[in-house]
Structure 1
Amino acid sequence: MESLLVTDYMSKRPVKLKINMPVAEAVERLLDSHQTGGPVVDENNKVVGFLSEQDCIRMMIESSYYREQVCRVEEIMHTEVLTVKPYSSILELAQQMLELKPKVYPVVDDDGYLLGNINRSDILRAIDKQLRSGYKEAS
Structure 2
Amino acid sequence: MQSHKIADYMNPRPVIFTARMSIETAVEKLLSSGQRGGPVVDDNNRVIGFISEHDCLEAMLRDTYHKEQSATVGDCMYGGDVLTVASYENITDLAQRMDRKRPKIYPVLDENRKLIGIITRTDVLKAINLQLHDSYSKN
What TM-score comes out, normalization by structure 2 length?
A: 0.93
Instruction: State the partner residue of 1:84.
Output: 85
User: Shift of residue 12 of structure 1?
Assistant: 0.4
Greater shift, 97-106 or 128-137, is seen at 97-106
1:97: Cα distance to partner? Answer: 1.5
Contact 2:6 2:87 in 1 (8 A): yes
1:51 is aligned to 51
State the AA in 2 paired with 1:72.
T
CA distance in 2, matches of 1:124, 1:78: 25
Question: What secondary structure does 1:49 align onto?
Answer: strand
Judge conservation of contact 1:47–1:114 (CA < 8 Å) in 2.
Answer: yes
Match of 2:9 in 1: 9
Deviation at 1:3, TM superposition (A): 4.1
Alpha carbons of structure 1 residues 68 and 101: separation in structure 2 relative to 1, 3 Å: farther
CA separation of 1:98/1:56 partners in 2, compared to 1, >3 Å: closer, same or farther?
A: same
Consecutive unaligned residues in structure 1, runs of 5 or more: none
- Note the alpha carbon deviations across 1:25-71, whole angstroms, 9 max, x for none: 01111111100100001111111111011111111111111112410
1:70 paired to 2:70: yes
Q: How many residues align?
A: 138
Unaligned runs of 5+ in 2: none
The corresponding residue for 2:25 is 25
Q: Distance in 2 between the 1:41 and 1:54 partners?
A: 19
TM-score of the superposition, structure 1-length normalised? 0.93
Q: What residue number does 1:136 align with?
A: 137
1:111 aligns with 2:112: yes
- Moved >2 Å (runs of 4+): none
Alignment root-mean-square deviation, CA: 1.3
Give the fraction of aligned pairs with identical amino acids, expressed as a percent: 46
1:99 CA drift (Å) = 5.1
Normalized per residue, the structure richer in helix is: 1
Counterpart Cα distance in 2 of 1:49 and 1:85:
17
Instruction: Indicate the larger mover: 59-68 or 112-121.
Output: 59-68
Alpha-carbon distance in 1 for matches of 2:96, 2:64: 38
